[in-house]
């Protein structure tokens, strides 16, 4: 209901939301405003082709809205069966995803502990404690295990990874 210039009349009619148009499916509904076309096709038009709401469950019905009510009446048992199968599959997937989630939580916890351990190994003085020293000294003396190696550690946050080695009974060159 706005004034337009005659030259713009054709382009206006092709875009005007209030311009009355017939149903593209040629149903019994007569002309209605272009702005109501989507609503008409989505909810009212009996000649609009639609899919069954149980499509996600496996129902392959695709037909006109006019026949849809009949399809729903005739297929209620199969729809119930399809919905039951879908629920069963969804339960299995939920269980699988819960298991994976728990595995990921355990893995994240492990990585967090490793990060914490790494953070403790840099920036401070490194102390390497050798447990069972006497036993390890005897092993070095009998040449079973002459060299011990420390766990690796960082020299600083962005520093080097280092590892220490020690020959408890000497290195065979007269050095301790």
- pLDDT, tens only, 30-45: 888 888 888 998 888 8
For residue 11, the model assigns a pLDDT of 73
Q: What is the mean pLDDT of residues 15-40?
A: 84
Domain coverage including residue 166: 123-176
Instruction: Quote the number of domains for the chain.
Output: 1
Residue 8's pLDDT is 67
Show Cβ contacts of residue 136 under 8 Å, excluding neighbours closer than 6 positions. 130, 145, 148, 168
Residue 83 within a domain: no
- Residues near 164 by Cβ (< 8 Å), separated by ≥ 6? 128, 149, 150
Say if 138 falls within a structural domain. yes
Residue 64 and residue 29: Cα distance in Å, rounded? 15
Q: Is residue 141 part of a domain?
A: yes
Q: What is the pLDDT of residue 75?
A: 94
Tokens 């502990």 belong to residue: 113
**Residue at 63 is within a domain:** no
4-to-11, 19, 77 alpha-carbon distances in Å:
10, 14, 58
41, 26 Cβ separation under 8 angstroms: no
6 located within any domain = no
CA dist., res. 35 & res. 52, Å (int): 26
Residue 149 within any structural domain of the chain: yes
Among 12-21, 53-62, 109-118, whose mean pLDDT is lowest?
A: 12-21
Smallest CA-to-CA distance from 153 within 175, 120, 129, 105 is with: 120
Is residue 135 in some structural domain? Answer: yes
Q: Which pair of structure tokens corresponds to residue 42? A: 């989505």
DSSP code at position 21: E
pTM over 0.85: no
The rounded distance, in Å, linking the Cα atoms of 46 and 65 is 5
- Classify residue 134: in a domain, yes or no: yes
């Amino acid at each position: 209901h706005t004034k337009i210039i005659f030259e713009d009349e054709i382009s206006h009619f092709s875009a005007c939301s209030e311009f009355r148009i017939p149903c593209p499916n040629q149903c019994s509904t007569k002309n209605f405003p272009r702005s109501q076309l989507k609503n008409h096709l989505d909810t009212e038009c009996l000649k609009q082709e639609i899919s069954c709401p149980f499509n996600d469950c496996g129902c392959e019905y695709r037909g006109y809205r006019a026949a849809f009510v009949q399809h729903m009446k005739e297929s209620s048992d199969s729809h119930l069966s399809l919905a039951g199968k879908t629920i069963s599959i969804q339960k299995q997937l939920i269980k699988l995803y819960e298991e994976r989630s728990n595995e990921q939580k355990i893995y994240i916890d492990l990585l967090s502990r490793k990060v914490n351990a790494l953070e403790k190994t840099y920036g401070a003085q490194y102390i390497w404690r050798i447990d069972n020293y006497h036993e390890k000294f005897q092993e070095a003396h009998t040449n079973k295990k002459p060299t011990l190696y420390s766990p690796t550690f960082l020299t600083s946050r962005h520093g080097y990874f280092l590892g220490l080695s020690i020959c408890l009974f000497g290195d065979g060159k007269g050095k301790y």
